Structure 1
Amino acid sequence: MDPDTPAPSAPPGAFNYLLSFLLVGLAWGFTTPFIRRAAVDFNARNEGKQGDIPSAEARGPSLLSPSWIKEKAVSVFWTVVNLLRTPAYSVPLLINLTGSVWFFLLVGKHELSLTVPITNSTAFLFTVLGEWYVEGKVISKETWLGMTLVLGGIALCVHSKT
């Protein structure tokens, strides 16, 4: 073997994969309540501004006329731009989308039968915890039981593959 040739590296251990799954679940689940709250706040701020728009009957032309479609497309475009310019929305969204990139990389490196259930289950767990943190929602006994069962299911999935 040539001394200049690097030795083949061992694949990452199970702990690294599990940590990666948890990070994806955290990025997907914990950011969701923040995104929801920012979107609700954004809509509440903008409801007063939309009150000046006349109803469809007052405008006259058909709802499918080119001018109506263009007006709606421009309105949607500027709503998205203004929403993305809101840090309370865009920062959690960016973290959430980063989780999607991590997930894509995990799917390419690990078994699909572990990657998908673990990441989606941990996203659920972190969503519940995020709602508790962001909105102050009380976590019921049944939800705690469900979260415990989810963790047990994840442990069984991991154990069955080792």
Structure 2
Amino acid sequence: MSDSAAPADPAVPADPGLLRWTLGFLLVGMCWGLTNPFIRRAALLYTPTPTPSHNPIIKLLHTAHDLLRHPSYTIPLLLNLTGSVWFFLLIGQAELSLTVPIVNSVAFLFTVLGDWWADGKVVDRRTWAGIVAVCTGIGFCVWGKS
């Protein structure tokens, strides 16, 4: 008697399923898009401390150290970089022609949300129309691959 179900190849990772892909795309898009307005605001409000040297390398290191001491800049930056690590992991397993447009589109949507949250910007109807167009485009991309 032979077993009809062949054992799974341990070298090939199992498909994580639609829910996990969706959560992965949303997390990366959120880390990229939602943090951009906060990074921008922190950079605009940043007042550098005087650099004790005229050496450009020392000035660069001093400025980087000075910026990283401010949590309003550092926390969003770390979240943004975390999204980049997750993106690297996603493109290693997901369909590349879906991952890149979906994640970048979702990042745009979260940037709009972040602008509203960080700066109180009003989302006008042209932006809402763009959001609908982006979501429609994502739907067409997924539909075309299924």
User: How high is the TM-score relative to the length of structure 2?
Assistant: 0.86
| Equivalent in the alignment of 1:116 | 100
CA distance in 1, matches of 2:17, 2:144: 16
CA distance in 1, matches of 2:14, 2:37: 38
> 1:10 offset after TM fit, Å?
3.7
1:149 aligns with 2:133: yes
Match of 2:24 in 1: 20
Q: Which amino acid aligns with 1:148?
A: V
| CA–CA distance in structure 2, aligned partners of residues 13 and 160 of structure 1 | 18
Please give the secondary structure, in 2, of the residue aligned with 1:137. coil
State the Cα deviation string for residues 41-77 of structure 1 (Å, max 9, x = none): 11xx33xx55xx9xxxxxxxxxxxxx95xx2221121
Q: Which residue matches 1:135?
A: 119
In 2: Cα distance, 1:158 partner to 1:88 partner: 36
Number of paired residues? 139
Alignment of 1:13-162 (within 5 A): 13-42=17-46, 45-46=47-48, 71-162=55-146
Unaligned ranges ≥5, structure 1: 54-66
- Shift of residue 21, structure 1, vs aligned partner: 0.4
- Report which of the two has the higher share of helix: 1
Percent identical: 53
1:113 to 1:6, Cα distance in 2 relative to 1, 3 A: closer
2:122 aligns to what SS in structure 1? Answer: coil
Higher relative contact order by CA 8 Å / sep ≥ 6: 1 or 2? 1
Shift of 1:79: 0.7
Q: What code does the residue aligned with 1:13 have?
A: G
**Residues 108-151 of structure 1, C-alpha deviation per residue, up to 9 Å, x if partnerless?**
00111000000000001100110011001111110100011101
SS in 2 for 1:109: coil
Question: Which protein has the larger Cα radius of gyration, Structure 1 or Structure 2?
Answer: 1
